[in-house]
Structure 1
Amino acid sequence: MNASRIALVTGANQGLGRALVEGLAARMDEDDLVLLTGRSHRRVAEAAREVGRLPGTRAQVEGRVLDVTDTEAITRLAGELEARHGGVDVVVSNAVARLLPEESQAERADEFIDVSNTATHAVLRAFGPVLRPGGRLLVVASSLGTLGHLDTRLHHLFDGASLDQVEYAVESWRSAVHSRTAQESGWPLWLNVPSKVAQVAAVRAVAAERRARDLADGTLIAAVCPGMVDTATSRPWFSDHSRAQTPARAADAVLDLVFAEPVDPALYGELVRFGKVLPWHDGTPLVEQDRMLTP
């Protein structure tokens, strides 16, 4: 990677995002810059200040306000980093909307999709072109992001799709939720499943177009599954957290992927968990969550 590297993490005020910033700041050099982003100016400023004061911090840490639902803001930030620094070296798209089990999935669909999917598409479109040779562009997803977790009637929407086609599929899903035809079309009630599949499909789409030149210069684009992490977002969904990782421990596996040299071609464009690929076509449709959410 280049000297004076630039790294950026979305959804970085707390939880895994903040742990990723802390890890980047500890592993990078004094001349490097890590951008901690989030929606709240106060929380972003406080988090950046606290990370900057940690004993292990080496790189510079700067807070930047970024609402990932504002796709134009994502594009502007990418352009700014290209103009000021010639591009960016590490981008981790991590933002997610917090959703509670007792909340209506349909009523929260727009926010959830905007944060998890529309923003992912915008990050890939904006930061892919300004990623410097040898860079890393990672989208935090989950093991639910494998195609087999969806009804087979929906597989054609994502398998081998372009980014435009993934976006169209996401908007079709959104429309089906609003028209209350989602279940009859095969979409699960639980928003997290199609959202994660779509995130991985978007990564695969972009990676398919760039693979040859990226591997030639040591660039990595991939989706990552950090495993079960004990955060405010995940805690309400699980009764047993005994096997959950702390955000710091979960961040380590993601950071190992960021700093691994050389790039393993087998990981390029894939969903990676603890350094290993989760096969795209694996998984079976999940029904337990739908039973739990059915009125």
Structure 2
Amino acid sequence: MNASRIALVTGANQGLGRALVEGLAARMDPNDLVLLTGRNAQRVADAAREVTGLPGTRARVEGRVLDVTDTDAIARLAEEVRDRFAGADVVVSNAVARLLPDESQAERADEFIDVSNVATHAVLRSFGPVLRPGGRLLVVASSLGTLGHLSPRLHHLFDGASLDQVQYAVESWRSALHHGTAQEAGWPVWLNVPSKVAQVAAVRAVAAERREHDLATGTLIAAVCPGMVDTATSRPWFSDYSQAQSPAQAAEAVLDLIFTDGVDPALYGELVRFGKALPWHGGTPPVEQDRMLTP
């Protein structure tokens, strides 16, 4: 990566996003900059100040207010990064909408899709072009993001799809949810499954277009699965947290992927978990009555 590197993390006020900012700031150099983003100005300012004051922090940390549901705001931030810094070296799309087990999946669908999917598409479209050679553009997903977790009836919507086609599939799913026809069409009740599959499919779509050039320049675009993480978002879904990682522990594998020299072609454009690619066609459709989060 270049000197005076620029990194950016969305959804970085707390949890895994905050841990990734802390790890980046600790591993990067004093002339590098980490942009910590979130939608609440006070929380962003507080988090940036706190990370700056940590003993292990070496790089500069600045806060940026960013509501990832505002695709124009994502585009403007990418333009700022391009114009002010001549591009970014690390971009991690991490924002997620919190959903509790006792909440209606259908009623929360719009917010969930906007934060997890529409925002992912916008980050890929806006920051892909400003990613410096040798950079890293990662989307935080989960092991539920493999195609086999969806009904075979839906595979054609995502397998080999372009980014435009992935976006169309997501909006078709949203429409089916609004009209009460989603289950009839084969969509699972639990939002997290099609959302994660669509995130990984979006990454695969962008990576397919860029693969040759990116591999030649040591640039990585991938989805990442951090495993089970003890956060406010995930804790309500588990009865046993004995195997859960802290956000700092979960961030380590992602940070290792970011800072590894060169790019393993087997990981490019894939869903990566602990340094290994998960098979795109793997997984089985969930049993709805269980509805438990799989790390």
Which structure 1 segments of 5+ residues have no match? none
What amino acid sits opposite 2:264 in the alignment?
A: D
Deviation by residue 1:258-281 (Cα, 9 ceiling, x = unmatched): 001111111000000000000000
How many residues are matched? 292
What amino acid sits opposite 1:149 in the alignment?
A: H
The CA RMSD measured in Å over matched residues stands at 0.8
Q: Distance in 2 between matches of 1:170 and 1:39?
A: 23
Deviation by residue 1:221-266 (Cα, 9 ceiling, x = unmatched): 0000000000000000010000000000000000000001111111
Partner of 2:25: 25
Partner of 1:279: 279
Does residue 58 of structure 2 align to residue 37 of structure 1?
A: no
Partner of 2:85: 85
Q: Is the 8 A contact 2:230 2:241 kept in 1?
A: yes
Partner of 2:54: 54
Q: Percent identity?
A: 85
Q: Give the deviation of 1:121 after TM superposition.
A: 0.1
Q: Give the deviation of 1:33 after TM superposition.
A: 0.2
Q: Distance in 2 between matches of 1:137 and 1:53?
A: 27
What amino acid sits opposite 2:252 in the alignment?
A: D
What amino acid sits opposite 2:83 in the alignment?
A: A
Q: Would you identify which runs of 4 or more consecutive aligned residues in structure 1 move more than 3 Å?
A: 288-292
Shift of the 45–179 alpha-carbon distance from structure 1 to 2, 3 Å rule, reads same
Q: Is the 8 A contact 2:38 2:66 kept in 1?
A: yes
Q: Distance in 2 between matches of 1:290 and 1:124?
A: 32
What amino acid sits opposite 2:187 in the alignment?
A: W
Partner of 1:201: 201
Does residue 170 of structure 2 align to residue 170 of structure 1?
A: yes
Which structure 2 segments of 5+ residues have no match? none
Q: 1:267 aligns to what SS in structure 2?
A: coil
What amino acid sits opposite 1:246 in the alignment?
A: S
Q: Is the 8 A contact 2:148 2:281 kept in 1?
A: yes
What amino acid sits opposite 1:173 in the alignment?
A: W
Q: Is the 8 A contact 1:189 1:290 kept in 2?
A: no
Partner of 1:13: 13
Q: Which runs of structure 2 are paired with 1:257-272 in the superposition (5 Å)?
A: 257-272=257-272
What amino acid sits opposite 1:81 in the alignment?
A: V
Q: Which runs of structure 2 are paired with 1:172-187 in the superposition (5 Å)?
A: 172-187=172-187
Does residue 198 of structure 2 align to residue 218 of structure 1?
A: no
Q: 1:167 aligns to what SS in structure 2?
A: helix
Q: Is the 8 A contact 1:188 1:290 kept in 2?
A: no
Q: Give the deviation of 1:161 after TM superposition.
A: 0.1
Shift of the 291–218 alpha-carbon distance from structure 1 to 2, 3 Å rule, reads closer
Shift of the 288–189 alpha-carbon distance from structure 1 to 2, 3 Å rule, reads closer
Q: Give the deviation of 1:51 after TM superposition.
A: 0.2
Partner of 1:151: 151
What amino acid sits opposite 1:67 in the alignment?
A: D
Q: Give the deviation of 1:131 after TM superposition.
A: 0.2
What amino acid sits opposite 2:62 in the alignment?
A: E
Q: Is the 8 A contact 2:10 2:94 kept in 1?
A: yes
Q: Give the deviation of 1:143 after TM superposition.
A: 0.1
What amino acid sits opposite 1:245 in the alignment?
A: Q
Q: Is the 8 A contact 1:162 1:205 kept in 2?
A: yes
What amino acid sits opposite 1:258 in the alignment?
A: I
Does residue 253 of structure 2 align to residue 253 of structure 1?
A: yes
What amino acid sits opposite 1:105 in the alignment?
A: Q
Does residue 4 of structure 2 align to residue 4 of structure 1?
A: yes
Q: Distance in 1 between matches of 2:37 and 2:180?
A: 35
What amino acid sits opposite 1:66 in the alignment?
A: L
Q: Distance in 2 between matches of 1:22 and 1:290?
A: 35
Q: Give the deviation of 1:289 after TM superposition.
A: 4.6
Q: Distance in 2 between matches of 1:260 and 1:172?
A: 38
Q: Is the 8 A contact 1:98 1:233 kept in 2?
A: yes
Q: Distance in 2 between matches of 1:77 and 1:289?
A: 41
Q: Distance in 2 between matches of 1:45 and 1:96?
A: 20
Q: Give the deviation of 1:288 after TM superposition.
A: 4.0
Q: Is the 8 A contact 2:190 2:288 kept in 1?
A: no
Q: Give the deviation of 1:291 after TM superposition.
A: 6.5
Partner of 2:70: 70
Q: Give the deviation of 1:286 after TM superposition.
A: 0.3
Partner of 1:118: 118
- TM-score if structure 2 supplies the norm length? 0.98
